């Protein structure tokens, strides 16, 4: 499946899992001041999933396939729940095609957080 993360306390893994809830990742970016790079990665994955869902929804509407909207929503929710469960269980979440993008976003966010003081 995926490689297991280091021993992370349950409350921290729960916080990581919450970042996959719709719009929760934006809230965590706004209020959480001290974010580890692993937490930032989960936040960015959550945002990426939400943006992908919204983009797909817009495309479906433009193409006149709005009747597929409910299936798209179910797929989005299923992927979010799957990733949240995987994180809470202690496995790593890696989306191969997006890891380079996410890592660069985390690096920029880390640099920004270090210069905010």
Output the pTM of the full model. Answer: 0.73
Phi, psi of 35 (to 5 degrees): -115, 130
- Tell me what pLDDT residue 73 has: 93
- Tell me what pLDDT residue 110 has: 67
Q: What is the pLDDT along the chain (117 residues), one digit of tens a residue?
A: 444 455 777 778 888 888 888 888 888 878 877 777 788 888 888 888 899 999 999 999 899 888 888 999 999 999 999 999 988 888 877 777 777 777 777 777 666 666 554
SS (H, E, C) 71-117: HHHHHHHHHHHHHHHHHHHCECCCCHHHHHHHHHHHHHHHHHHHHCC
Q: Are 46 and 37 in contact (CB under 8 A)?
A: no
- Tell me what pLDDT residue 115 has: 57
- pLDDT single digits (tens) 45-72: 888 889 999 999 999 989 988 888 899 9
Collect all residues with Cβ–Cβ distance below 8 Å to 51 and sequence separation of at least 6: none
């Amino acid at each position: 499946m995926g490689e297991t993360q280091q021993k992370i306390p349950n409350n921290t893994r729960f916080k990581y899992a919450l970042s996959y809830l719709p719009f929760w990742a934006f809230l965590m970016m706004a209020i959480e001041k001290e974010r580890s790079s692993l937490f930032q990665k989960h936040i960015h994955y959550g945002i990426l999933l939400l943006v992908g869902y919204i983009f797909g929804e817009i495309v479906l509407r433009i193409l006149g396939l709005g009747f597929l909207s409910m299936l798209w929503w179910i797929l989005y929710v299923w992927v979010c729940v799957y990733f949240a469960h995987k994180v809470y269980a202690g496995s790593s979440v890696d989306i191969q095609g997006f890891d380079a993008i996410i890592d660069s976003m985390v690096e920029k966010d880390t640099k920004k957080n270090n210069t905010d003081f």
